[in-house]
Structure 1
């Protein structure tokens, strides 16, 4: 797989992963409030139940796993491009600091389900590994996978809210988010951050594992080697996706096998925790393999072309999605939170994503980067970066990624 084609496939992957992130975020944190997902769901129509089940199977924890791996790939690409720069390490630190700033602004002023802050902090942990042999990134990824599987047994300096708090807070949050003013929602959003931060601390080892894995996939040349065997890549993608969805169904209780946790040995409990933690990653790997395999076939490549521009502008589109969903679902906008089912929410996600795909394609005809990608790059280098494409340039958004 030539270098430009590999980056094309990564941009397509990023765009498709962003749709999964959008669909899940809308379903779990805009259509309802963030802590409601930990409570028993209310009665819903058959259509809404089917939509919610499809979202859970296809995207829950899978899309964000793929997105996290791709962040690691992107970080490794930046490191590679700056390898000969005399201030390469400093620029990478500036890049992560800028991302941290964006994340904090996003978290407190727009939407507290932000993932950018966690990515920036994880990036600082991962950064030293980029200057070491690639195999250390893989070893670190494996170590953090085991650490994540062991989280249920690791004493934490905090406790999670109990059922009573969740029920009370869900009622209060729904009332404020669906009908409150901007200031009411801002106060609640800030007040929720400490509880949401606990969730981020809990999954932080998994995030580190995925980012390190993505970095290793790029630095080791594994992505290039996989691209040389499209048939094997396609078969692997089908197998991993099928296995991941099967294990997802088992984890959600669609099969009668249930472990007797009360009498299970510690080793069995750890193994099951590891399996449950890796199931979304396995599925995400399957998705990635299928897209990488498809990029080697002309017709499939043409069918995926629409996802490339939105993947190149993933940062701008991610923030835009948050702002737009706030206007649609919160009280200072249309207030749809109180009366939107899962099926309607999925329809909104598809519509919004389609609009962003069109806008991204049009934008990149005349611009090198998305608006926030350009600002991020400018902050990283400390000087204004070229934004518009030169007149007469024949380079298109489908060839290379610049961020």
Structure 2
């Protein structure tokens, strides 16, 4: 188990970055958990003030489609750590990781049906199988493949734009979106069977977009994580200051420019939605990289922030699922049924409050446990045995 000691400092920074990503994902997802209109791609008609629109624009520009890419990058990076660990310990990696992605698929499917049809764990499970196939890929090839995937996705959206100009949906609007939103609100505010029925209906539609667009985008981000993991680039960040600085300059210039084009396409219609999404596919990874580079460069100067964020990052799967559960209890018929009754600004405040609670809870939980509750289950499925307790872990390491 000596390898765990070697990787501890690096994993600490990665956990902190994962914790930051978890916060960004919550701030974005809460709008879709709280509103049938947002799920239909529309603004909630009850909230039309300047503050409401300002929050929508800021969240869309700076957060949307950025932090799930960071999370995907970390999934790919962690894949290399697990692969290296299996090799060092002489374990068969493929069956072990297949059990892991099988567990993710099961957990994600339950999550999508019961709590949030926008679940991404099922996507990670499928992408995980692709990573197994590509596990021997070289870092340079992984980066090239990621770039090609992103370019092909953007080209596909441009072609959809051309097709729309030749015929259907030239304005790039969602047909029947308002009717869909009203129906969704009614179902989400109803009983458990109505909520689950609505989730199943939405999940089937979302999966089409996942297969065509988000899945390949997640794979591209994972491949960048695989390349970084294989190069060991996060082991000594001080040796890569110049690279991190370049990522910041490129990401904050091109990334922010692309983010505003995308946001303009979402909320004003001045840019066709397919063109806006094509621009976002290319530039969102750059902005996500700039966020990561800035955070990692600042982390040594912010040890307290690093400790705060590392704990929820260590049990990110449990916290991700808990976020959906808490929001469901607030916004659907499972609890208060406040669907489409909370303004965008209050949604953000709720998200910040939920995350603050998760930071405190994660620190408390990890005092007596090595893993989060859902992480424990996933680890059991992965290794097909009970994970070690903190006491067993300390006893084993004190004997080394």
TM-score range, shorter chain: 0.7 to 0.9
Partner of 2:48 in structure 1?
A: 44
Partner of 2:116 in structure 1?
A: 111
What is the alpha-carbon distance in structure 2 between the residues aligned to residue 373 and residue 100 of structure 1?
Answer: 14
What is the alpha-carbon distance in structure 2 between the residues aligned to residue 53 and residue 153 of structure 1?
Answer: 23
Secondary structure of residue in 2 paired with 1:130: coil
Partner of 1:399 in structure 2?
A: none
Deviations 1:290-334 (A, max 9, x none): 121123x3x323333200000000000001111111001002311
Bigger fraction of residues in helix: 2
Query: Which residue of the other structure, out of 159, 174, 188, is the alignment partner of 1:163?
Result: 174
Residues 259, 163 of structure 1: CA spacing in aligned structure 2 closer, same or farther, 3 A cutoff? closer
Partner of 1:189 in structure 2?
A: 199
Query: Which residue of the other structure, out of 244, 247, 250, is the alignment partner of 1:233?
Result: 244
CA contact (8 A) 1:238 1:290 kept: no
Deviations 1:128-150 (A, max 9, x none): 21123333322321221122112
What is the alpha-carbon distance in structure 2 between the residues aligned to residue 173 and residue 98 of structure 1?
Answer: 29
Partner of 1:338 in structure 2?
A: 340
Residues 232, 104 of structure 1: CA spacing in aligned structure 2 closer, same or farther, 3 A cutoff? closer
Q: How much has 1:391 moved relative to structure 2?
A: 9.3
Partner of 1:361 in structure 2?
A: 363
Q: How much has 1:371 moved relative to structure 2?
A: 0.6
Query: Which residue of the other structure, out of 261, 282, 288, is the alignment partner of 1:284?
Result: 288
Deviations 1:245-271 (A, max 9, x none): 2332244349xxx9998xxxxxxx99x
**Greater CA drift, 141-150 or 91-100:** 141-150
Query: Which residue of the other structure, out of 55, 60, 82, is the alignment partner of 2:64?
Result: 60
* Correspondence 1:77-92 to 2 at 5 A: 77-84=81-88, 85-92=90-97
CA contact (8 A) 1:10 1:70 kept: yes
What is the alpha-carbon distance in structure 2 between the residues aligned to residue 391 and residue 214 of structure 1?
Answer: 28
Confirm or deny that 1:24 pairs with 2:28: yes
TM-score normalised according to structure 2 size: 0.85
What is the alpha-carbon distance in structure 2 between the residues aligned to residue 374 and residue 215 of structure 1?
Answer: 24
CA contact (8 A) 1:99 1:376 kept: yes
Partner of 1:141 in structure 2?
A: 146
Partner of 1:351 in structure 2?
A: 353
What is the alpha-carbon distance in structure 2 between the residues aligned to residue 36 and residue 191 of structure 1?
Answer: 12
* Correspondence 1:364-383 to 2 at 5 A: 364-383=366-385
Partner of 1:303 in structure 2?
A: 305
**Greater CA drift, 383-392 or 93-102:** 383-392
CA contact (8 A) 1:231 1:293 kept: no
Which runs of 5 or more structure 1 residues have no equivalent in the other structure?
262-268, 396-403
What is the alpha-carbon distance in structure 1 between the residues aligned to residue 150 and residue 43 of structure 2?
Answer: 29
Secondary structure of residue in 2 paired with 1:228: helix
Q: How much has 1:379 moved relative to structure 2?
A: 0.7
CA contact (8 A) 2:123 2:210 kept: yes
Residues 287, 64 of structure 1: CA spacing in aligned structure 2 closer, same or farther, 3 A cutoff? same
What is the alpha-carbon distance in structure 1 between the residues aligned to residue 262 and residue 18 of structure 2?
Answer: 27
What is the alpha-carbon distance in structure 2 between the residues aligned to residue 319 and residue 145 of structure 1?
Answer: 28
Q: How much has 1:39 moved relative to structure 2?
A: 2.9
Query: Which residue of the other structure, out of 316, 320, 323, is the alignment partner of 1:321?
Result: 323
Partner of 2:3 in structure 1?
A: none
Residues 218, 169 of structure 1: CA spacing in aligned structure 2 closer, same or farther, 3 A cutoff? same
CA contact (8 A) 2:69 2:288 kept: yes
What is the alpha-carbon distance in structure 2 between the residues aligned to residue 309 and residue 221 of structure 1?
Answer: 23
What is the alpha-carbon distance in structure 1 between the residues aligned to residue 119 and residue 26 of structure 2?
Answer: 12
Partner of 1:247 in structure 2?
A: 258
CA contact (8 A) 2:27 2:351 kept: yes
What is the alpha-carbon distance in structure 1 between the residues aligned to residue 307 and residue 328 of structure 2?
Answer: 29
Structure 1 vs Structure 2 CA RMSD? 2.9
**Greater CA drift, 233-242 or 184-193:** 233-242
Partner of 1:398 in structure 2?
A: none
What is the alpha-carbon distance in structure 1 between the residues aligned to residue 136 and residue 393 of structure 2?
Answer: 38
Which runs of 5 or more structure 2 residues have no equivalent in the other structure?
1-5, 161-167
TM-score normalised according to structure 1 size: 0.85
Secondary structure of residue in 2 paired with 1:326: helix
Residues 154, 380 of structure 1: CA spacing in aligned structure 2 closer, same or farther, 3 A cutoff? farther
Partner of 1:208 in structure 2?
A: 219
